[in-house]
Amino acid sequence: MALIDHLDGDYLRQALENDVRTGLTSSPKWLPPKWFYDATGSDLFSRITRLAEYYPTRRELEILRRHAPGMAVHSGADTLVELGSGTSEKTVLLLDALSASGTLRTYMPVDVDAVTLEAAAARLATRYPRLAVQPVRADFEHHLSLLPREGRRMVAFLGGTIGNLPPAARELFLKELRATLRPGDTLLLGTDLVKDVRRLVAAYDDGRGVTAAFNRNVLHVINRELDGDFEPDAFEHVARYDEDNAWIEMRLRATRAMSVRLGRLGLSLAFEAGEEMRTEISAKFREEDVRRELAAAGFDVVRYYTDPAGDFALTLAGR
C-alpha cells in the first residue's frame, strides 16, 4: 500500500505562490478554493457537511444508499478511482456495492494531502482485507494522465466539486478525463442542482458561522505559508447566488481600508473598504446541463440518479 506520489516537495508551495500572486493582483481579486483545505479547513468543512442548512452531503448519501448496487452492476468496475477523495467516508457505500457485485479488486483514492490519504487508505485496507488499496497523491486538475489505468475503472468525482471549476476549466477537465478512459471505463459525477435561491444561499452562509470561519481560513493558510499579515477577522463572509451563471459565489469583504504584506512573495496589497475577493464558485446544474456538458466532452450517459427531493444528482457515464 505504498503511496504513489506525483507531487514533489515544492509542487504545492509553488502552486500556492502562483495562485495567490495571480489572483490577488487581478482586478477583481480572487483565490481558488483548493487552499481552504489545510487540517483546520478540512475539519471545518466536515462540520459544514453536518449542518442543517448544508444539504448536498446528505442528499448524495441518499442516492448512494439507494442506487450504489445498480451503479456497481451497470459499471462492472473492478477498480474504483476517486478524485479528491479526502477521508473517503462516502466511498464505503460504493466499495460495499462493488464488493457485493463480485467485481471489485482495487481502490485508488486520489488527493493532494498525503496524511489524509494514508490514514483513509489504512482504515479501508482494514475494513476490506481482500481489497488492494493504492493511494495516489496528485492534483487531479493537472495529473489525470498520470493516474494508473489498470483494470475496468469507475472514476468517481463526488460532492459537487466539479461545480468549483468555471465553465472553460470544467470543459477542459472533462475532455482530459475522457481521454484517459478506456472502453468499459465509467465516470460517476456528482452535481448539485438548481433550486430555491434561499436554500442555496443558506447552505453557504449558515447561522452558526461555520462557513464564514471556513472561508476566512484561506487567509490563515496564506499567512502561515507565505509570511502574510492578513487580519482574517477584518473580512466579512459573503455568499450570493449569481442567477446568470447559476452558481453560488463565496467572497471575503474588507471591512475597512487596509494594506497586506506577503513577505515570501515580496508583495504588498491594498484593499479598499468594502472591496471583495472571490474565494469560491459552486455551480448548480439542471439535468440538461449535465447531459450537454458530458456529451460535449465525449461521454454517453448510462444512468442519471437524483434523491427524492431533486436536490442533487449522480450521473454514471461511459466514454
- Residue 83 sits in a domain of what CATH number? 3.40.50.150
| Contact between 232 and 253 (Cβ < 8 Å) | no
- Report if residue 279 sits inside a domain: no
Report the run of H or E that residue 251 belongs to, with start and end. Answer: strand 247-254
| Contact between 152 and 78 (Cβ < 8 Å) | yes
Residue in this structure with the C-alpha cell 498525503, named with its chain if needed: 114
The annotated binding site for S-adenosyl-L-methionine is made up of 84, 90, 111, 139-140
CA distances (Å), 303 to each of 11, 98, 312, in order? 37, 16, 14
The annotated binding site for L-histidine is made up of 54, 164, 204, 280-282
CA distances (Å), 262 to each of 25, 61, 210, in order? 12, 41, 26
Please report the pLDDT score of residue 13 as a whole number: 93
- Report if residue 36 sits inside a domain: no
The dihedral through the CA atoms of 103, 60, 162, 84 has a sign that is negative
| Contact between 33 and 239 (Cβ < 8 Å) | no
Residue in this structure with the C-alpha cell 435561491, named with its chain if needed: 197
Please report the pLDDT score of residue 89 as a whole number: 82
- Report if residue 290 sits inside a domain: yes
The annotated binding site is made up of 54, 84, 90, 111, 139-140, 164, 204, 280-282
- Report if residue 137 sits inside a domain: yes
Please report the pLDDT score of residue 35 as a whole number: 95
- Report if residue 15 sits inside a domain: no
Please report the pLDDT score of residue 196 as a whole number: 97
Please report the pLDDT score of residue 275 as a whole number: 98
- Report if residue 239 sits inside a domain: no
What are 188-206's pLDDT values in tens digits? Answer: 999 999 999 999 999 999 9
Residues in the chain predicted with pLDDT less than 50, given as ranges, are: none
Phi, psi (degrees; rounded to nearest 5) at 30: -155, 160
Residues contacting residue 11 through CB under 8 Å, at least 6 positions apart = 139
Rounded to two decimals, what is the model's pTM? Answer: 0.95
Please report the pLDDT score of residue 264 as a whole number: 97
CA triplet 271, 279, 44: central angle to 5 degrees?
A: 115
Please report the pLDDT score of residue 39 as a whole number: 87
Phi, psi (degrees; rounded to nearest 5) at 194: -60, 140
Domain span at residue 149? 56-195+286-318
Q: Which of these, 211, 276, 200, lies nearest to 245 by C-alpha position?
A: 200
Please report the pLDDT score of residue 114 as a whole number: 85
CA distances (Å), 276 to each of 245, 261, 273, 281, in order? 18, 17, 9, 14
- Report if residue 160 sits inside a domain: yes
Please report the pLDDT score of residue 192 as a whole number: 98
Number of domains composing the chain: 1
- Report if residue 77 sits inside a domain: yes
Phi, psi (degrees; rounded to nearest 5) at 70: -65, -40
